[in-house]
Amino acid sequence: MLRSNYPPGSVRWATRRAQWRALGLTDEDMLKPKIAVVNSSSDLAICFSHLDEVAARVKEGIRAAGGLPFEVRTTAPSDFIHSAGHGGGYILSARDLIVNDIEVGVEGAQLDGMVCLASCDKTAPAQLMAAGRLDVPTLLLACGYQPSGRYRGEHCDIEDVFLHACGTPGETLTGELTEMSEDAVRGPGVCAGMGTANSMHIVAEALGMALPGSTPVAANSPAMWREADRAAERIVAMVHEGLRPRTILTGAAFRNAARVALSVGASINTIKHLQAVAAEAEVDVDVTALYGDLGASTPLLSAVRPNGPHTIEQFDAAGGARAVMARLGDLLELDAPTATGRSVGDNLADAPGAAETPGTADDPGTAGDPDVIRPADRPFSHDPLILVLRGSLTPLGGIVKLSVDAVRPDTFTGPARTFESQEDALAALAAGAIGAGDVVVLRGLGPRGRPGMGMASQIVFALDRAGLTGQVAVVTDGQLSGLVNRGIVVGEVRPEAADAGPLALVRDGDTIHVDLPDRGCELRVPADELERRRAEPLPVREHGEVGWLSVYRRTVRSLDEGAVLRPR
């Protein structure tokens, strides 16, 4: 018996029937599997603008497959829009708000399953977290990347606009930015490139929670609509089969997801999001450690912008996540279960192989393109693009993201220049108070310190435009863009300053040493001096937040726990 059905004559049955009959549903409809179509639609951002049409198509497919669809709405955060308020605090915090939106809609109504329309950065991780928490049959449907434009004859997307806008403070770029922003985005969908959104869509497939061959995909393309139809049909079958997320979200699934993320040079944000999914699904796994442990043995099979020369369109045409997984082969745990009801190995049995003709920068090539997605014995690199550094300054880890053509020193030692906000750091740079050899320490931006986790990327790219890449290092507990970062940038330091992590003990002039080959990040200050500093008040700003952010600050856990919400 479906959990959504109640005994005829009962109070619940009678009141539901009265409500649903008024919606035009028949008694026969009310006996069908009731499927939530989780829709984060919004007019505020182009990434969500097509989701109402996708939801309508999925609902139509669910009806055709013998189910009864109900659309469930959630908040819809866009990094480029919603980061304007409270120093970006509404971005990461909105992830957990979405989880609770889904819980209210699906668990409150006791629906039988859900198809989640994954779009911008925080929707996919939130939907996976909700799947793990509620443990009802769930599929993620990636709703696609946006088409990019051109700027003065060169490829141009929203991330190029962002990077160009992060110039040295005071630099006049208005004319160029106006021209770039006219054509950077030509339609709906998520940011092009291997940023957080496309990374998380690929991770969902690697976990087994999205159908094989469905990621990435161009928004509103024939392929996207086919995947919408496939998901609609499959979710009804999953309900009848009783195939639940916690059957799929095993330790093996997380190891596969980390392996795939490393092989495509995914956004570093995948680490905290996967940890959060594991927390909600009650899987005992340390995702940060996985990235560190698996990095050395995972070949880099693709180099999609900004990691390298290829576009997301080329990666898609070359076979996408499924082709990557096929080429990883035995490096994956092939017996891991998936949403198809089959194992990873079974799903990959007929995956695309190497194409005869490799693609070029102007021609994406054909499925299985061995230049865009390389064989494991001919990778772009044997070294990982995501490094986990541990040391006296980062005892629980700090994350470094590189690119295949990164030009930066392997080690860096210098005096600390401490800042409690990105605005202060930018002002110091503009005033010439940050110079070659310095280590910029930007703190108080972690999940609890901001609260909600503030962005630290602008100072990184401002340093780049000031010609200081490789000459100045950055260490921060803030969130970095899903883009690659310039020079030596250690982000998402754990514990954060607001949790009395060592970052809070750094003072101007302290020596900091970063060693990428040895995966170390050290604060070279005597132990007795650090002990003395621990008795001093923490250098954390109070932002005077109320409402949602005040709830978030009181309940958010540390990044090594995925920054999920739990009573403290």
The fold for domain 32-146+189-347 equals Rossmann fold (3.40.50)
* Torsion angles phi and psi, residue 35, rounded to 5: -115, 125
pLDDT reading at 454 higher than 80 = yes
CA distance 219 to 143: 6
209 against 463, higher pLDDT: 209
Whether 481 is catalytic is yes
Q: For 340-380, how does the pLDDT look when each residue is reduced to its tens digit (9 = 90+)?
A: 999 999 999 988 653 333 333 344 344 456 799 999 999 99
For residue 433 the two structure tokens come to: 């108070």
For the domain made up of 387-542, give the CATH fold: Glucose Oxidase; domain 1 (3.50.30)
Q: Where are the domains of the chain?
A: 32-146+189-347, 155-186, 387-542
User: Tell me, what's the pLDDT at 530?
Assistant: 94
Alpha-carbon distances of 404 from 146, 307, 316, rounded to whole Å: 24, 6, 20
Please tell me the distance from the alpha carbon of residue 66 to that of residue 77, in angstroms, as a whole number: 33
Per-residue pLDDT at 399 exceeds 80 = yes
Check pLDDT > 90 for residue 537: no
Distance CA 254, CA 257 (A): 5
Q: What is the mean pLDDT of residues 314-337?
A: 97
Q: Return d(Cα 466, Cα 567) in angstroms, integer.
A: 44
548-555 and 89-102 helices, crossing angle to 10°: 90
Partners of 416 in the beta sheet? Answer: 439
Residues 6+ apart with CB under 8 A from 149: 156, 157, 182, 183, 184, 185, 186
pLDDT surpasses 60 at 309: yes
How far is 130 from 123, CA to CA, in rounded Å?
10
Task: List pLDDT tens digits, range 231-289.
Answer: 999 999 999 999 999 999 999 999 999 999 999 999 999 999 999 999 999 999 999 99
* Angle subtended at Cα 147 by Cα 142 and Cα 153, rounded to the nearest 5 degrees: 155
**Tokens encoding 267:** 């956004």
Q: Evaluate if residue 538 carries a pLDDT over 80.
A: no
Q: What pLDDT, on a 0 to 100 scale, did the predictor assign at position 544?
A: 64
- Per residue in 174-230, pLDDT tens? 888 889 999 999 999 999 999 999 999 999 999 999 999 999 999 999 999 999 999
Q: What is the 3-state secondary structure (H, E, C) of 451-483?
A: CCCCECHHHHHHHHHCCCECCEEEEECCECCCC
Instruction: Name the catalytic one among 40, 41, 267, 481.
Output: 481
- What is residue 227's predicted lDDT score, i.e. its pLDDT? 98
More confident residue, 562 or 484: 562
What pLDDT is stored for residue 485 in this prediction? 61
Of the candidates 308, 340, 333, which has an alpha carbon nearest to the alpha carbon of residue 213?
Answer: 340
Question: Which has the higher per-residue pLDDT, 118 or 354?
Answer: 118
Predicted confidence at residue 490, as pLDDT, reads 96
- Is 396 a residue whose pLDDT tops 50? yes
What's the CA angle centered on 458, arms 413 and 511, to 5 degrees?
15
